[in-house]
Amino acid sequence: MIKNITVIVAHIDHGKTTLVDSFLASKNYIPSTLAGEMRYLDSREDEQLRGITLKNSFLEIEGEYYIDTPGHVDFGALIHSASFLADNFILVIDIAEGIMPRTVSLIKFIDKNKTVLILNKADKAVEYSEIESLVYQINNLVGEEVFQWSKNNIVLCTAKNCGAVNFNYFKASKKNTLKNAYKAFQLLYKKIIDGDTEKLKEKYKIKVNTLKNYFSVIFPVSSTINNSISCLMNVDRDPFEFIIEKEFKGTIYGITTYCLLKKQTSLKRQNVVFVTRIFNKLKTGECVFCCTSNGYKKVEVEKIFNFTGEDLIETNEAMPNTLVCLKGDFLKDSLLTSLECHKKPLKNLFPLYLAKIRLKDLSNENLEKFKESLKTLGLLEHSLKVHKNRYNEFEIKCCGIVQFEKICEDLRNNDLEFSIISDCKKFKEFARNTAYKKFITDNYDFLINVEPSDELEVHVSSGYGVAYSALKVFVNEGPLIRESIIKTKITIEIKRGSSVSLFGILKQALTETFLESNPSICPLYYDTKIYITTQYLGNIYTLLPKLYYVIKEEVYDEENDFFIIYCKIPQFLFKEAVDQIYTQSKGTAYLEGIEDDFLITEYNFSEYITTILKDKGLYKEEKIVEDASKQRTMRM
């Protein structure tokens, strides 16, 4: 029996998880009354509280596999990883909202020829011309007229009411068009709402008057969508096209791109299982090569688990065309083969959000537990980077605030106590003006010149290695915020001086000279693309100057009526930018960003020096007391 793996993708709140509930209700896994409200696969407590999906969820129903992916922008890498496991795709779009900027990014992850387009919320009354335009826009995005009613790859759906229709549902009709199907959909909805249901009750043996009962019986959602998916089986898809070079001669057993915890609250490596698409039969105890883009190693398959519903049931072998979980010392995002090879890398999202956390208990035992938990999260989360700084703080770099909060929730559930220090602010120091200063005593004679430059330049008189060492230490930790100095030229000319005492003297002299150059700080900028509909463009341009942005270019997509703003936004304001842009666009905007560089712009960021010093615990404030003999500098 050939089994299908179908990945479901959608813009946030377009009805993807509700659709999965409808599938489950149609197979009596959950009561139909709870479909759309239960969010069955959103098993995490924070998913239920937020009302959004935060992970990939896996489900087996009657031999067919479904992967529910997050719609939130922080988890785009999870959609990409799921796409490597898929035979088919379901793209869900709310007909009332239409194409969102986020939809554009989702298109990149699907195989257009293996996708069913779900036009959800078809119970809402919209002009048919809007539906026709929506299909046209989607086809324009994928580059050809792939989605056609007559191809049976378009489905009209009301996920919350468990109803759906496609071309094959009306195949006996001579007037089988998308327009007429939508009319039939709307007619049924109107009859139910108006109470004109006596004939329907008698014909379909319906006992309880609810929208879900009528739609699920008359326009059954799961059988309709599965019927459309079955029509995609005639289209070949090479599962290895983007995974491995065509010249590979060995056996490919499977590919794993995602990990789960067998026990949710235990962040330990031995609790991790690897979700794997199986291509050739595999048994426990067998050894395979686990290959990534960076290397490979030989690994024993310790345990195999089949998906039954959402549960994992242990078995001794994995059959071809199935989705299983494997336990063993596997590598993340790997290909399982009979011969060593190198797998093509997955495209990870670039981690943009940076925050710091500090453990409350810094004992060795707790520190080791924390490190193990973070290493395990490194397997579970895409685009997660962790660095321990000199202040015993852990700098967490990930794709956004929602992913960061999810990581914190997992750490707390593992009985780890910590405090969130702040969002990290990445700045460098630089000289704005030229400063020239001589230092002459009986023991030494030298001068220092500091001036702006296109890059960091340092020049020291020959024969004075100690001076170069002092300058190197100075530029690595400037006097303003203890960060490195950039785009500044510093010259030291020494006429006379003893190497023994010169190091400390030079550091102090460098500080004095640099502070006379009217120095300032500049932030790390993110190269950013903002996808925004025409309706909210004015709101965004009103907001951007408050975010110290640098504009590069604006492009208008006439077919889909949205703009792409190419700009640069400071790293320390990126979270605020995301939040405010989402608010100003009512959740329709989509942002992409990648780390660019520290830029010196027309903006003055000196006002942030005190805040940065306070964040680092380095700020000193003069406290004036009446008795001058007791005057001292108090650390705040």
Domain with CATH 2.40.30.10 in the chain: 246-337
Taking each continuous run of H as one helix and of E as one strand, the counts in the chain are 16, 32
Please give the Cα distance from 413 to 373 (Å, whole number).
Answer: 11
Residue 73: predicted pLDDT:
83
In this prediction, residue 122 carries a pLDDT of 93
Q: What are phi and psi of 409, to 5 degrees?
A: -60, -40
C-alpha–C-alpha distance, residues 225 and 29, integer Å: 17
Which pLDDT belongs to residue 635? Answer: 40
The CA-atom distances, in angstroms, between 272 and each of 30, 329, 386, 400 are 28, 9, 19, 24
Tell me which amino acid residue 489 is.
K
Task: Provide CB contacts within 8 A for 212, sequence distance 6+.
Answer: 25, 32, 33, 35, 160, 161, 162
What percent of the chain shows pLDDT beyond 70?
A: 93
pLDDT confidence band for 399 (50 / 70 / 90): confident
Structure confidence at residue 39 (pLDDT): 84
Q: What is the CATH number of domain 5-233?
A: 3.40.50.300
| CB 565, CB 540: distance < 8 Å | yes
**Alpha helices for 356-452 (secondary structure H):** 364-380, 401-413
Taking each helix axis from N to C end, the angle separating 16-26 and 211-218, rounded to the nearest 10 degrees, works out to 70
Averaged pLDDT, 406-432: 90
CA dihedral (27, 30, 32, 34) positive or negative: negative
User: Which strand ranges, in their side-by-side order, compose the sheet holding 457-460?
Assistant: 435-440, 445-452, 488-496, 457-460
Mean pLDDT of 4-28: 88
| Helix, strand, or coil (residue 137) | helix
Band (11; pLDDT cuts 50, 70, 90): confident
Given this model, what pLDDT does residue 239 score? Answer: 67
Name the class of domain 433-517.
alpha beta
* pLDDT of amino acid 636: 36
User: Closest Cα partner for 324 from 266, 270, 256?
Assistant: 256
DSSP character at residue 174: T
The percent of residues in the chain predicted with pLDDT above 90, rounded, is 57
The predicted-structure confidence for 504-532, as pLDDT tens digits, reads as follows 889 999 999 999 999 999 999 999 999 99
pLDDT, tens only, 182-231: 999 999 999 999 999 999 999 999 888 889 999 999 999 999 999 999 98
Cα 182 to Cα 126, 153, 203, 276: the distances in Å are 10, 15, 21, 39
Give me the pLDDT at residue 347, please.
61
What confidence score (pLDDT) does residue 501 get? 74
Instruction: List where CATH 3.30.230.10 sits in the chain.
Output: 433-517
According to the CATH classification, is domain 353-424 in 3.30.70.870? yes
All CATH 3.30.70.870 domain ranges of the chain, comma separated, are 353-424
Of 12-21, 242-251, 570-579, 618-627, the least confident: 618-627
Extract the tokens encoding 524.
């790390």
The token pair that represents 78 in the structure block: 């999870």
Question: For the residues 314-320, what does the mean pLDDT come to?
Answer: 95
Nearest by Cα to 189 from 206, 173, 212: 212
H helical segments located in 485-573: 499-515, 537-543
Supply the mean pLDDT for the chain: 88
CATH topology of domain 246-337: Elongation Factor Tu (Ef-tu); domain 3 (2.40.30)
Buried b (16+ CB within 10 A) or exposed e, 463-473: ebebbbebbee
Closest CA to 260 of 486, 528, 58: 58
Query: Nearest to residue 616, comparing CAs of 436, 476, 424?
Result: 424
Which pLDDT score, from 0 to 100, does residue 104 have?
Answer: 83
- Poorest-pLDDT segment among 270-279, 317-326, 396-405, 480-489: 396-405
pLDDT reading at 349 higher than 80 = no
* Residue 191: closest CA among 206, 178, 175: 206
Where in the sequence of the chain do the CATH 3.40.50.300 domains occur? 5-233
